[in-house]
Structure 1
Amino acid sequence: MGLGIYFCGSIRGGRQDVDISCRIINELKKFGRVNSEHIGNPDLVEKGEDGVKPGDKYINNQDLKWLQEANVIVAGVIQPSLGVGYEIGRAVAKNQKILCLFRSSSKYVLSAMI
């Protein structure tokens, strides 16, 4: 069965690194079920799933459910994202195992809070 993995990655914060997210998700799938693999979908636009699902409340509830169910959290912190930071904070509060992935050559400086 493997691990339940929740992958956090930027959607509304910018989709510039969606190709990297897709590659990470494909690697993670070797170890278990990635319940948030839609983040690696290049067709998902910055607005997110608003056109497909009932909107922000649905997205929030679904993502928090997946986060709660996960054994491991992997966060792509390459692109600044308020949502990813929020999800990391929720996972920290639950003492979940978290791996944050950052590209040291990024033009961004990683927050000391991460």
Structure 2
Amino acid sequence: MLSYKEEKMKVYFAFSIRGGSPDEEVIQTVYRLLKDMGHEVTTEFNINWKKRERYMSDEDIYRRDVEALKKSDIVLAEVSKPSLGVGYEISLGEKLGKRVVCLAKEGIHLSAMINGNPNLDLISYKDKNDLTEKLLRFFNKI
């Protein structure tokens, strides 16, 4: 049986959308885990991004995402696929004083701007089960 820490957070979950197709299985795994733990995912609108973003202007997407990031307690970014947008969100989160956690599949050669940044937490994972276990441990200790 999984146990969760009582404190609930607002989580900004960033992942590559236009920079490369996201790993749907990983995205859904993280999203479901966060919801199961009782956290609010402030970027819930991105989970069905294919349907929604085609009806929005770039300016509207920018404003929506920045507002969601400002309201969040923590930024969780899947960085296995390079993405200018995710990099921007990580930087903005850091600038706003948010805790930023990057998730990357083991063996991925990350940018030095991510890998070398002492202000970021980095969680490397083998597969969705390993990622689930590591995220549970992470959220239960913060």
Shorter-chain TM-score tier? 0.7 to 0.9
SS of equivalent to 1:102: strand
Q: Which of the numbers 70, 73, 76 marks the counterpart of 1:71?
A: 73
- C-alpha spacing 1:38/1:19, structure 2 compared with 1 (3 Å): farther
- C-alpha spacing 1:105/1:89, structure 2 compared with 1 (3 Å): same
TM-score (norm. length: structure 1): 0.84
TM-score (norm. length: structure 2): 0.69
Q: Which of the numbers 54, 78, 82 marks the counterpart of 1:50?
A: 54
Cα-Cα RMSD:
1.9
Matched-pair contact (CA < 8 Å) for 2:11–2:42: yes
Which structure exhibits the higher relative contact order, with contacts defined as CA atoms closer than 8 Å and separated by 6 or more residues? 1
Which residue is 2:41 aligned to? 34
Q: CA deviation at 1:48?
A: 6.7
Q: CA deviation at 1:26?
A: 1.0
Q: Which of the numbers 4, 11, 17 marks the counterpart of 1:5?
A: 11
Matched-pair contact (CA < 8 Å) for 1:77–1:100: yes
Identity score, percent = 35
1:81-92 matches, cutoff 5 A: 81-92=83-94
Q: Give runs of ≥4 in structure 1 deviating > 6 Å.
A: none
Query: What one-letter code is carried by the residue in structure 2 that aligns with 1:102?
Result: A
SS of equivalent to 1:105: coil
Query: What one-letter code is carried by the residue in structure 2 that aligns with 1:40?
Result: I
Q: Does 1:17 align with 2:23?
A: yes
Task: Give the count of matched residue pairs.
Answer: 107
Q: Which runs of 5+ in 1 are unaligned?
A: none
Higher Rg of the two aligned structures: 2
